[in-house]
Amino acid sequence: MADFKRLGYFIQIAELGSLTRTAERLGIAQPSLSRQMRILEEELGVPLFTRGHRGMQLTEAGEALRGRIAGPLRQIGHALYEIRALPDEASGSVSFGMPPTFVSTLGPDLAARVAREAPGVALHIVEGYSGHLLQWLKQGELDAAILYGPTPAGVNATRLLADELVLVGTREHIPLSGEVRFGDLAELPLVLPSRTHGLRIAIDSAAARSRTRLNVAFQADSFQLMMELVENGRFCTILPPTSVRRRVADGRLYTAAIVDPPLRREVFVAMQSGAQSPRAVIEVERRLREEVARLAGAGVFSQARVLSVSD
């Protein structure tokens, strides 16, 4: 039977893809780490890695093992941290996933607040689109994540924000009135995330309800690439105003409210379904909600309604 520490080594190597980098991170000798992986493979009777010039690549069996043990190992690790911390403050490592728009708006202030108020918690903010974050959360690679609605399936999710979405583009694409009818979006070349992501799902659902065929001329699962394509004037996009407020303030981009009907989306905080959330994760979530409320009061989330857990 594989022991807990050996499985932990396996997860680290799978993440870094390198024995050398993993050994450096863990502070152990590389030959010893390599021997531990050989023992694990012998115990399981299957190869877990292919070893080559590109580093350590997971085999099909290795991918299956990582998918099954990543979540349980994280929960065990949290439990051990909490027992060591009793009766002191929460401690441990927390991996919190956020879409790019929240990383830029919320990430720095949340990280500073956690470091100041919960010094025993090591916060790791992971950036990704909502669809990727949901997948990583279900696989146990994240402890919690901010996800766009509709209500995420297969996780414990509570509402965080109800947000307005706006048309974003250069001056030539944005009406001087500051408003655009949803049906008129069909005439504009749009760049949007691919269909698996929460923002795109919300937009496509609204288009289906209004029987509008949007002109999605390009799909980009990179926020930076999307912004570059919009700023060069070739495309428009649809985003929450918070995500582009600095570009709007600099005069690089403009926004227009979407009306008839308006376009809204809900934002959730999600954790693994059925798992008991450790104190460190709860402490981070509480401070995240407090930080969102503070930023809303300061006008950062100007067109969003902050929701409580009970909403």
**Does the global pTM surpass 0.85?**
no
pLDDT mean over 193-206: 86
pLDDT digits (tens, 9 = 90+) for 221-259: 888 899 999 999 989 999 988 888 889 989 999 999 999
pLDDT at residue number 136? 87
**What is the Cα–Cα distance from 308 to 139, expressed in whole angstroms?**
27
Share of the chain above pLDDT 70, in %: 89
The model's confidence at residue 1, banded by pLDDT at 50, 70 and 90, is: very low
The answer to whether the beta carbons of residues 183 and 283 sit under 8 Å apart is: no
Give the integer Cα–Cα distance in Å for 95 and 52: 30
Residue 55, SS3?
strand
d(CA 77, CA 68): 15
Q: How far is CA 262 from the centre of its chain?
A: 25
Q: What single DSSP character describes residue 302?
A: T
| Nearest residue to 100 via CA among 213, 225, 216 | 225
Q: Which domains does the chain have, with CATH numbers?
A: 4-71 (1.10.10.10), 89-159+267-306 (3.40.190.10), 166-262 (3.40.190.290)
